[in-house]
Structure 1
Amino acid sequence: MDVAYAITPFLAWLTAGTLKFIINSCRARRLAFSQIGYGGLPSNHSAIVSSTAALIAFREGMSHPAFGAAVTIAFVVIMDANNLRRQVGKHATVINRLVGFDKDTDLLRERMGHTTFEIITGILVGIMVAWASFYL
């Protein structure tokens, strides 16, 4: 296995996570360690899967079967990040309201999933990281 296929998704995750931390810290006007986790701009999941698909496209071409498989997996992950996890976050909000008066219960994380803009930004980050990995 070419090590680029292991390093590129890691670099995409690191890049997207660093950008997310900086953006959240600027918005909160403090270091936003408490906001590390699911959701936010850009989408780490979208960056990871799109970097892999883009690297395959750059190296093998878009007609290669591995590219088709990578795009299929990317769609599943991105749809999950957009739809399913956002619904989980909405459920967490309702559950927190129901049990919010119980001081012994930890509240559920409500910020789950991604908006379309966060996903598109994650895809662009992934493609840029794959491009850099391919050309550098």
Structure 2
Amino acid sequence: MADYLYLITPFIAWLVAGVSKFIINSIRAKQLAFGLIGYGGLPSNHSAIVSSMAMLIALLHGIDSAAFGVALTLAFIVMLDANSLRRQVGKHATLINQLNKAQNSVQLRERIGHSRIEIGAGILVGVLVAYILVALSV
């Protein structure tokens, strides 16, 4: 069993999701989108990271292992947070920014959370990265 996969799989999933998000945002903005790097957007980096680890554990140890149960639980918590709590924070930032406009205050980042499609794309990236890395390590 390739122990190094536990280290590199989430990193590669994060890298693939981040590069994909940068390319997608740059195409949408019709310029290099360095200002859009961070939370929010398609695909979800957080979802890619946690789903890559859950998939890796499922492939190497099976879905009946305790480690897979823990990884799946963590993945659900991260994805629920990305979809609900962080989106609410973004809505609050929008309202605060409207209040701050009159005072010319610093504007808060409004795009923080993820839609279900963005989370689903992150899951897809994570699953594919884990699958490909396991297939290449055999």
User: Is the pair's TM-score, using the shorter chain for normalization, greater than 0.5?
Assistant: yes
**Counterpart in 2 of 1:106?**
106
Which residue identity does 2:101 align to in structure 1?
A: G
CA distance in 1, matches of 2:122, 2:6: 18
Gaps of 5+ in 1: none
**Counterpart in 1 of 2:122?**
122
**Counterpart in 2 of 1:9?**
10
Count the aligned residue pairs: 135
CA distance in 2, matches of 1:12, 1:106: 33
**Counterpart in 1 of 2:134?**
134
How does 1:37-52 map onto structure 2 within 5 Å?
Answer: 37-52=38-53
Give every structure 1 segment of 4 or more consecutive aligned residues whose post-TM-superposition deviation is greater than 4 Å: none
Shift of 1:72: 0.2
How does 1:39-118 map onto structure 2 within 5 Å?
Answer: 39-103=40-104, 105-118=105-118
- Structure 1 counterpart SS, 2:11: helix
Which residue identity does 2:19 align to in structure 1?
A: T
Which residue identity does 2:133 align to in structure 1?
A: S
- Aligned-residue RMSD, C-alpha: 1.0
Shift of 1:131: 0.4
Shift of 1:101: 2.1
Gaps of 5+ in 2: none
% identical aligned pairs: 61
Which residue identity does 1:86 align to in structure 2?
A: R
